[in-house]
Each structure stands twice: as structure tokens, then as C-alpha cells.
Amino acid sequence: MKTIGILTSGGDAPGMNAAVRAVARTALNRGMEVYGIRRGYCGLISGDVFKMEQRSVSGIIQRGGTCIYTARCPEFRHEEGLQKAKAKCEELGLEGIVVIGGDGSFRGAADLSARGILCVGLPGTIDNDISCTQYTIGYDTAMNTAREMIDRITDTAQSHDRCSVVEVMGRGAGYIALNTGISCGATAVLVPEVEYNLDDIAKKMLQSKVLGKTHFVIVVSEGIKESTESIATQIQEKTGIESRATILGHVQRGGSPTVRDRVVASQMGSYAVDLLEQGIGNRVVGMVDNKIVDFDIQEALSMKKEFPMDLYNIANEISI
């Protein structure tokens, strides 16, 4: 393969820049031509691309967001959009594309691969909700940001003898909530994967109060059915403990990536180029037991990820 492109698609995630850098540098070192495609599949359809040199990706590894921008591109879901993208690839001589994003982006990558443009997907999302991989680029940074924010909220909850109910991102998955909850000593972690009972949580809080506990933190994943405001109101009603709701929101998606995100992104980016160099496409790269591996995209999309109930049980057992 002589010419490849790189794009980022769907929600951005810290570490995407490190992946873009790794893909560009690896491919250039192997004598390939590399194009940066702006704003995901939208840029591919419109031809918003630029030729990358070694210096095009300088000074980006420490930056959050994605320097080639990202987008959700409805047009790409339809045959007409796919054909426009294919025609643009042929015009530019693009034989392969590294797509950094989530499941939706991989569906697009499979569609394009089926039309002759070989794509390799890299898992880039803070949610860690991609089944074929135990780790997604951006997850570690987002968790550490949430952890820092919750620590700050805990300071003020402690000062006022309050309960803080903090909502973290994760879409339909509770991985961010579970891990940040454990790391912040949350009294309860509410995730979409596991049923919860607010009466039981209130009871536990009142028992802890008898033991001398004065303040509480409950971490809520955005994917549960009730609003965080409503959880805080109900907890206050059931316990008499003054409660406040905080939604962390997009603060979790930005910021300088952690070492882990930078390193994994670099490994995955390099691995993607290895595949394309061998003419292998329609694959998703993942991490399993700390090893970088790859899967057929359809197979990857049909996999199911088990929620770590052992960790969830530990979170409950060690919290008061």
C-alpha cells in the first residue's frame, strides 16, 4: 500500500492526537504517502484533506481533542455518501484509511472496506464501550479527570456535611462511573448495567451516619434511567441529608492525555499501519490482556463485553 489516510470520527477523546501522530510517522517512515482527513467521514466526502509530513504531527501528542477535527456525518450512512467517499479516495489514490472512533465509526469503516477502500479502526472513545477491546483511547484520561473533579466536590461535601451526587459520562456503559467511584470512595455507584435500590442506599447512608460518617458521594453514570437531579432529591428526602447534584459533562472529554492513553494510542497507531502495509483491512485494533490484537470489523461489532461485576461488588463492599 502506497497511500493512506487518517480520520477521527464521532466523539473526540484525549489520545486521538497521539494515535494520529503514530499513524502518520509510522507510515511516512515506511515510505507511504499520508493524508490527514478533516472532520471524519464528512471530510472524506468533501475532499477536505491535506498531505502530511513528519512535522505535520509535531507538538500534538500532549494535546487533548483531535487536531484533524471530528464529526458525526449522517450522509456517510447512505450509499450515495459512501460512493462519494469512495470516488474521493480513488481521486486521491487513497488505498487504505485508519479510522479512529467508536462502534458507529467502525460500521462506516466496514462499509467502506466492502467497497474496496481498506479501513482499519482504532478504538477512540472515553466510554470504554467497545466490546472487542479491554481498553479504548481516552478512557484513562477521562477517568482521571472525573476522579479529580469528584475529589474537589468531596472537599466541599465534607465541609457542609452533604451528599454529592455526581454524574459522569459513559453513554450506555458504566465503566467510567465504576472506576472513578471506587477511586473516590463513593458510597454508591449507579450504572446502567446493574439494578439499584435507592431505599437500600439511603439505609446504608443512615447506618454509616451512626458510625460517624458525615458526608457522602454517589457516582452516577449518565446511562441510568433517572436524572441525577432526581436521585439527589430522592436521597435528600429519604435520608434528611442535604444533597447536591453535579453533572461533570464535557470537562471529561478534554485535557492533556495521560501517559497510558498516549502510549496505547502510539502502539495502536503503529499496529494499524503494520496491517495496512500488508494489505490487510476491514479490521479493528484492540487490547486484550495488555496485548495489541486485531479483529474482523463485523466480528468485533457482534461481540459482547461483560461488565466487571467482581469490581462492582468490591466497590459496594468497601464503601460505607
Binding site for ligand ADP (CB under 6 A): 9-11, 41, 72-73, 76-77, 101-105, 107-108, 111, 125
The Cα–Cα gap between 207 and 209 comes to: 5
**Per CB under 6 A, does 40 bind ligand F6P?**
no
With binding defined as CB under 6 A, does residue 39 bind ligand F6P?
Answer: no
65 interface partner picked from ligand ADP, ligand F6P, none, CB below 5 to 8 A per type: none
* 170 near ligand F6P, judged by CB under 6 A: yes
Q: Which of residues 140-169 bind ligand F6P (CB under 6 A)?
A: 169
In the complex, the smallest distance separating the C-beta of residue 167 from ligand ADP, rounded to whole angstroms, is: 20
Indicate if 140 belongs to the active site.
no
* Contact yes or no for 43/292 (Cβ under 8 A): no
For position 171 contacting ligand F6P by CB under 6 A, the verdict is: yes
> Measured from the CB atom, is 11 or 96 closer to ligand F6P?
11
Question: Is residue 125 part of the contact set for ligand F6P (CB under 6 A)?
Answer: yes
Q: Which of residues 26 and 105 has its CB atom nearest to ligand F6P in the complex? A: 105
Is 119 within 8 Å of 112 (Cβ atoms)? yes
Closest contact distance (angstroms) between CB of 242 and ligand F6P is 29
7 versus 315: smaller Cβ distance to ligand ADP: 7
Give the nearer residue to ligand F6P in terms of CB position, either 37 or 176. 176
Query: Three-state SS across the chain?
Result: CCEEEEEECCCCCCCHHHHHHHHHHHHHHCCCEEEEECCHHHHHHHCCEEECCHHHHCCCCCCCCCCCCCCCCHHHHCHHHHHHHHHHHHHHCCCEEEEEECHHHHHHHHHHHHCCCEEEEEEECCCCCCCCCCCCECHHHHHHHHHHHHHHHHHHHHHHCCEEEEEECCCCCCHHHHHHHHHCCCCEEECCCCCCCHHHHHHHHHHHHHCCCCCEEEEEECCCCCCHHHHHHHHHHHHCCCEEEEECHHHHCCCCCCHHHHHHHHHHHHHHHHHHHCCCCCEEEEEECCEEEEEEHHHHHHCCCCCCHHHHHHHHHCCC
CB of 276 closer than 8 Å to CB of 130: no
126 touches ligand F6P (CB under 6 A): yes
Catalytic pick among 12, 127, 129, 261: 127
Which of ligand ADP, ligand F6P, none has residue 96 at its interface (CB below 5 to 8 Å by kind)? Answer: none
Shorter beta-carbon distance to ligand ADP: residue 103 or 261: 103
As measured in angstroms, the least distance from the Cβ of 77 to ligand ADP is 4
Pick one of ligand F6P, ligand ADP, none as the site partner of residue 254 (Cβ within 5 to 8 A by kind).
none
Binding partner at 270 among ligand ADP, ligand F6P, none, C-beta below 5 to 8 Å by kind = none
Binding site for ligand F6P (CB under 6 A): 11, 125-127, 169-171, 222, 253
Q: Catalytic residue positions?
A: 127
